Protein backbone atom coordinates (compact mmCIF):
# COMPACT_ATOMS: atom_id res chain seq x y z
CA UNK A 1 0.00 0.00 0.00
CA UNK A 2 1.62 3.18 -1.25
CA UNK A 3 1.69 6.24 0.98
CA UNK A 4 0.02 9.34 -0.46
CA UNK A 5 3.29 11.27 -0.65
CA UNK A 6 4.80 8.50 -2.77
CA UNK A 7 1.74 8.32 -5.04
CA UNK A 8 1.95 12.09 -5.54
CA UNK A 9 5.70 11.96 -6.32
CA UNK A 10 6.54 14.10 -3.29
CA UNK A 11 9.67 13.66 -1.16
CA UNK A 12 9.30 10.81 1.31
CA UNK A 13 11.13 8.95 4.05
CA UNK A 14 10.56 6.04 6.39
CA UNK A 15 7.09 7.35 7.23
CA UNK A 16 5.86 5.82 3.97
CA UNK A 17 6.79 2.38 5.33
CA UNK A 18 4.83 3.07 8.51
CA UNK A 19 1.82 4.01 6.37
CA UNK A 20 2.11 0.74 4.43
CA UNK A 21 2.54 -1.24 7.64
CA UNK A 22 -0.61 0.32 9.12
CA UNK A 23 -2.70 -0.72 6.13
CA UNK A 24 -1.30 -4.25 6.05
CA UNK A 25 -1.88 -4.54 9.81
CA UNK A 26 -5.46 -3.28 9.41
CA UNK A 27 -5.99 -5.93 6.71
CA UNK A 28 -4.72 -8.61 9.10
CA UNK A 29 -7.07 -7.46 11.85
CA UNK A 30 -10.09 -6.95 9.61
CA UNK A 31 -9.52 -10.04 7.47
CA UNK A 32 -10.46 -8.08 4.37
CA UNK A 33 -8.82 -5.71 1.90
CA UNK A 34 -9.00 -2.07 2.98
CA UNK A 35 -10.16 -0.66 -0.35
CA UNK A 36 -11.81 -3.68 -1.97
CA UNK A 37 -13.81 -2.78 -5.04
CA UNK A 38 -12.34 0.72 -5.33
CA UNK A 39 -10.96 1.49 -8.78
CA UNK A 40 -7.70 3.40 -9.26
CA UNK A 41 -9.39 6.75 -9.96
CA UNK A 42 -11.56 6.52 -6.85
CA UNK A 43 -8.52 5.47 -4.82
CA UNK A 44 -6.51 8.45 -6.07
CA UNK A 45 -9.33 10.88 -5.34
CA UNK A 46 -10.58 9.48 -2.02
CA UNK A 47 -7.54 7.90 -0.38
CA UNK A 48 -4.58 9.84 -1.77
CA UNK A 49 -6.08 13.30 -2.17
CA UNK A 50 -8.89 13.37 0.43
CA UNK A 51 -7.43 11.17 3.16
CA UNK A 52 -10.15 8.50 3.37
CA UNK A 53 -8.99 5.55 5.48
CA UNK A 54 -10.57 2.22 6.46
CA UNK A 55 -12.90 2.12 9.44
CA UNK A 56 -11.19 1.04 12.63
CA UNK A 57 -13.31 -1.46 14.55
CA UNK A 58 -14.21 -0.18 18.03
CA UNK A 59 -13.76 -3.70 19.45
CA UNK A 60 -10.02 -3.71 18.67
CA UNK A 61 -7.68 -2.85 21.56
CA UNK A 62 -7.36 0.93 22.02
CA UNK A 63 -3.58 1.00 21.56
CA UNK A 64 -3.90 -0.84 18.23
CA UNK A 65 -6.61 1.54 17.05
CA UNK A 66 -4.37 4.51 17.86
CA UNK A 67 -1.40 2.83 16.15
CA UNK A 68 -3.42 2.34 12.97
CA UNK A 69 -4.81 5.86 12.91
CA UNK A 70 -1.42 7.45 13.60
CA UNK A 71 0.30 5.09 11.18
CA UNK A 72 -1.75 6.16 8.20
CA UNK A 73 -1.86 9.81 9.15
CA UNK A 74 -1.95 12.04 6.10
CA UNK A 75 1.16 13.85 7.35
CA UNK A 76 4.22 11.60 7.28
CA UNK A 77 5.85 13.61 10.07
CA UNK A 78 2.94 12.75 12.38
CA UNK A 79 3.31 8.99 11.86
CA UNK A 80 5.07 7.10 14.64
CA UNK A 81 8.48 5.52 14.06
CA UNK A 82 8.43 1.74 13.59
CA UNK A 83 10.18 1.37 16.95
CA UNK A 84 7.01 2.74 18.59
CA UNK A 85 4.86 0.32 16.61
CA UNK A 86 7.11 -2.53 17.72
CA UNK A 87 6.78 -1.51 21.37
CA UNK A 88 2.99 -1.27 21.11
CA UNK A 89 2.78 -4.70 19.47
CA UNK A 90 5.08 -6.22 22.10
CA UNK A 91 2.89 -4.74 24.81
CA UNK A 92 -0.26 -6.15 23.24
CA UNK A 93 1.29 -9.61 22.91
CA UNK A 94 2.38 -9.50 26.56
CA UNK A 95 -1.09 -8.32 27.60
CA UNK A 96 -2.69 -11.22 25.69
CA UNK A 97 -0.33 -13.57 27.55
CA UNK A 98 -1.30 -12.18 30.96
CA UNK A 99 1.91 -10.16 31.14
CA UNK A 100 4.30 -12.88 29.98
CA UNK A 101 7.04 -11.23 27.90
CA UNK A 102 9.05 -14.40 27.31
CA UNK A 103 10.70 -14.35 23.90
CA UNK A 104 9.61 -10.83 23.02
CA UNK A 105 13.12 -9.46 23.31
CA UNK A 106 14.12 -11.55 20.27
CA UNK A 107 11.90 -9.80 17.78
CA UNK A 108 14.44 -8.73 15.20
CA UNK A 109 15.51 -11.30 12.64
CA UNK A 110 18.33 -10.46 10.32
CA UNK A 111 18.68 -12.14 6.97
CA UNK A 112 21.65 -14.45 6.72
CA UNK A 113 21.26 -15.11 3.02
CA UNK A 114 22.17 -12.49 0.47
CA UNK A 115 21.57 -12.90 -3.23
CA UNK A 116 24.48 -11.88 -5.37
CA UNK A 117 24.07 -10.67 -8.89
CA UNK A 118 24.13 -13.63 -11.25
CA UNK A 119 24.28 -16.22 -8.46
CA UNK A 120 20.62 -17.13 -8.50
CA UNK A 121 18.24 -18.09 -11.24
CA UNK A 122 14.60 -18.68 -10.42
CA UNK A 123 14.16 -20.87 -13.49
CA UNK A 124 17.18 -22.97 -12.49
CA UNK A 125 16.01 -23.45 -8.90
CA UNK A 126 12.44 -24.08 -9.98
CA UNK A 127 13.58 -26.91 -12.26
CA UNK A 128 14.72 -28.88 -9.21
CA UNK A 129 11.22 -28.94 -7.76
pLDDT digits (tens, 9 = 90+) for 36-94: 999 999 999 999 999 999 999 999 999 999 999 999 999 999 999 999 999 999 999 88
The yes-or-no verdict on residue 112 having pLDDT over 70 is: no
pTM of the shown model: 0.77
Q: How far apart are CA 65 and CA 83, in angstroms?
A: 17
Q: Does the domain formed by 4-99 have CATH 3.10.105.10? A: no
Confidence at 117, pLDDT banded by 50, 70, 90: low
Please spell the DSSP secondary structure of 65-86, one letter per residue.
HHHHHHHT-SSGGGSPPHHHHH
Amino acid sequence: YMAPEVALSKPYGTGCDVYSFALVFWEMLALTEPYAGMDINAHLNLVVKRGVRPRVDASWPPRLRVLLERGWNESAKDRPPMASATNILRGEVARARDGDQTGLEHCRRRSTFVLRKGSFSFAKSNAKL
